[in-house]
Amino acid sequence: MWQRNSSIHRYGRSQLFTLSRMLLYSFLVFAICFFASARADVEDAQVVLDLSTADSSQNAPHWVVYADQYQSGVTGPPAASAIEGYNVFILSFLLTEGAWDKAYEWTTLTVDERTSIKSDYAAAGIKLLVSVFGSTDVPTTSGANPNATAATMASWVIEYGLDGIDVDYEDFAAMNSGTAEEWLIDFTRALRASLPQDKYIVTHAPVAPWFTPNGYVGGGYTKINQEVGDLIDWYNIQFYNQGSTEYTDCDGLLAASSSTWPETAMFEIANNGVDLSKLVIGKPATASDATNGYMNASMLATCLETAKKTGWAGGAMAWQYPNADASWISTVRSLSWPV
């Protein structure tokens, strides 16, 4: 801009130009300035467009692993190279009272350390999320306001530079009484008000039985999906801790659940209106990572292979790292989407 203005001034001061030549030069200078300005406007508009369409979403399949377990001498998430095969790593847990465990560890790192880890993950195509609530937090029963809670948790995600939030709501008393659904609907809408879909990931991690049709007075996750399913990127479904014989073979996991939790096998959930591409199969990495519902990695690999042949591409979730390491997910993906 300044250089162009000085050129115009030089031309204006010259006494050697005839009037016609002055007019010609004036026209040329005007044209140069006009087109340069137009180009700058286009470039500026492109910058705004690039920023406004920055996308933290992720296409299926999703390969998700949680981390809550304390590791001596380790602070924060592992290097991306240690979790090859995953594309989502979830720090656990952010509670209504504040950050705990791996989520808290993230806050103790310096800005430079967090930035370095995020860059490492981004280069490897891995999203870094925080999980909220978990089994020890009962926000509805304890009277937490869904809108205020969502605003606080969304601010935490933004402050600490994460890619999104996972809602691991396990307030069973509220679900059984019919008060959980509206609370979660309001909470999810409030989250999205602060964490828009073009920039942040929002997932939910319900237990599989909560998709039972007509099994809950408030509608369960069938109701939640109907109301705010379009705001949820995918479901990390917990197909474990629901009984010693539940979801322990491919048929019960995929095609037909037992009469205890009817119509909650994965394809049954999809048949009842939940987008199949949003259904991620969650399993414990080892028998010690859950009370029941364990399936070894090789059997789970067979189930994924079967599901893929039927048109599913949701992915798998593991509880938890470090038991669910790169070797575990490599085996799980080996027959469907090899690493």
Any idea which residue has 């800005």 for tokens?
A: 111
**What pLDDT does 39 receive?**
39
Residue 14 has pLDDT above 70, yes or no: no
**What pLDDT does 56 receive?**
62
Distance CA 239, CA 160 (A): 30
Segment 197-215 mean pLDDT? 97
**Cα angle, residue 38 at apex, residues 36 and 41 outer, rounded to 5°:** 110
Lowest mean pLDDT of 7-16, 100-109, 256-265, 320-329, name the range: 7-16
pTM of the model: 0.84
Q: Which of 205, 288, 285, 294 is nearest to 243 (CA)?
A: 294
Alpha carbon separation from 94 to 15, 116, 139, 236, 260 (Å, rounded): 74, 22, 12, 17, 32
Q: Which of 117, 58, 129 is nearest to 82 (CA)?
A: 117
